[in-house]
Amino acid sequence: MMHEENDIAKELRDIAPALEHLGGHPHFDVPVRYFDAFPVQLMERIRAMENSSAVTEELEQLSPLLAGVSRETPFTVPEKYFKGLTEQVVKEKNAAGEGRVVKMGRRLKLFKQCLAAASIAGLIAVSAVLISRSLSGSSMDRMMAKISDQEIEEYLTYHTDAFDNEHIFTNVSLEGEMPSVLPEDLSSKEIDNLLEDNLLQDDSVN
């Protein structure tokens, strides 16, 4: 083996002495797993060739007339159609969005989440109604009732002027408070108390 290599090197030196100084072989790259895939690819081509001849033979037997006709399709496509097709398909695919598989388990989870969300929303709604009720007119009335007449009187004394008094008197009506027709069964004492209360009201605003 060594002897053979020496002979080859000597032969090369004799033929072209300059080549000796060019160095070793260049390094060529091949695609990854090229040699693994090569036999399979070759087999595929052989099968395709065999199949093609099988189709041709079959056709020759079935219809010699048709076997003699070119199998080229006469249709044409717009220029550079296939060049732009991939980009067009990718664009369409993005527009269509990704496919989503909805499993039953996922649906159940979604239902549970919706149920929880609905419960929270319901709780918030009920709370809002209760708070709103607690702040409604009747509650305000109760709070106002707790304020003593003395405090109201003081407030009005220090915070109102002649114009306010006029405004108050024009809007205050005792008609709603005083029954238009006194019930017959009211005792004279009850009538006196009623009159006294209203007179006191009258006095307090003055």
Partner 1 sequence: MAVTQEDKELLALYGHPDTKERGFTLIVRKYQERLYWHVRRLVIDHEDANDVLQNVFIKMWKGLEGFREDARLYTWLYKIATNESLSFLEQQKRKSAISLSDVETGLSNKLQADSHYDANKIEWKLQKAILGLPEKQRAVFSLRYYEEMPYDEMSRVLDTSEGALKASYHHAVKKVEEFLKNN
Residues 6+ apart with CB under 8 A from 105: none
Check residue 117 for interaction with partner 1 (CB under 8 A). Answer: no
**Sign of the C-alpha dihedral, residues 92, 96, 97, 98?**
negative
Closest distance of CB 108 from partner 1, Å: 22
22-to-12, 13, 14, 27 alpha-carbon distances in Å: 12, 12, 15, 14
Closest distance of CB 106 from partner 1, Å: 16
Distance CA 175, CA 190 (A): 18
Check residue 204 for interaction with partner 1 (CB under 8 A). Answer: no
Of 85 and 135, which CB lies nearer to partner 1 in the complex structure?
Answer: 85
Check residue 77 for interaction with partner 1 (CB under 8 A). Answer: yes
Of 93 and 167, which CB lies nearer to partner 1 in the complex structure?
Answer: 93
Check residue 59 for interaction with partner 1 (CB under 8 A). Answer: yes
Check residue 96 for interaction with partner 1 (CB under 8 A). Answer: yes
Span from 8-16, 63-71, 106-114, 137-145 in contact with partner 1 (CB under 8 A): 63-71
- Confirm if 179 and 143 have CB atoms less than 8 A apart: no
Distance CA 55, CA 48 (A): 10
- Confirm if 196 and 188 have CB atoms less than 8 A apart: no
Check residue 80 for interaction with partner 1 (CB under 8 A). Answer: no
Tell me which residues touch partner 1 (CB under 8 A).
Answer: 36-37, 40-41, 44, 48, 51-52, 54-55, 59, 62-63, 65-66, 69-78, 82, 85-86, 88-90, 92-93, 96, 98-99
